[in-house]
Structures are given as C-alpha cells and as structure tokens.
C-alpha cells in the first residue's frame, strides 16, 4: 500500500504540473502582444542631377 500512496502522490503532482503548463500556454495565447512602436523618421528628398 505504501507504493500505491507514493504513486498517487506522484500522479497528482504530474497532473498539477501539466495543468499549470496548459494554463500558461492558454494565457500566453490570450494575452495581448506588445505593439510595435512607430518612430518618426525625417525623409530627405534627393535632388536628381538629370533634372527629374
């Protein structure tokens, strides 16, 4: 019986770990992802030498 109790405790721990991992995966999928920040850029127009 001692082995059965140890096995049950180990199974419960394994199931708990699996549930935690599954919850983390679901929350990562649901959690909003950070948006890219727009950085202002100054655009310089080049003067073309051929007159265009």
- Angle in degrees, CA 43, 47, 52, rounded to 5: 115
Residue 45 lies in a domain: no
Q: How far is it, in rounded angstroms, from Cα 23 to Cα 28?
A: 8
In this predicted model, what pLDDT tens digit does every residue of 1-50 receive, in sequence order? 679 999 999 999 999 999 999 999 999 888 887 788 888 888 887 766 66
Residue 16 lies in a domain: yes
Expressed as residue numbers, the domain containing 15 is 1-29
3-state helix, strand, coil in the chain (%, to 5): 55, 0, 45
What is the pLDDT at residue 43?
A: 83
Q: How far is it, in rounded angstroms, from Cα 18 to Cα 8?
A: 15
- Which runs of consecutive H residues, i.e. helices, occur in the chain? 2-30
Q: What are the structure tokens assigned to 29, written together?
A: 């999928």
Residue 40 lies in a domain: no
Residue 43 lies in a domain: no
Total tally of structural domains belonging to the chain = 1
């Amino acid at each position: 019986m001692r082995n059965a109790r140890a096995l049950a405790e180990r199974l419960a721990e394994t199931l708990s770990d699996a549930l935690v991992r599954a919850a983390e995966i679901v929350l990562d999928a649901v959690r909003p992802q950070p948006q890219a920040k727009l950085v202002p850029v100054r655009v310089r127009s080049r003067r073309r030498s051929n007159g265009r």
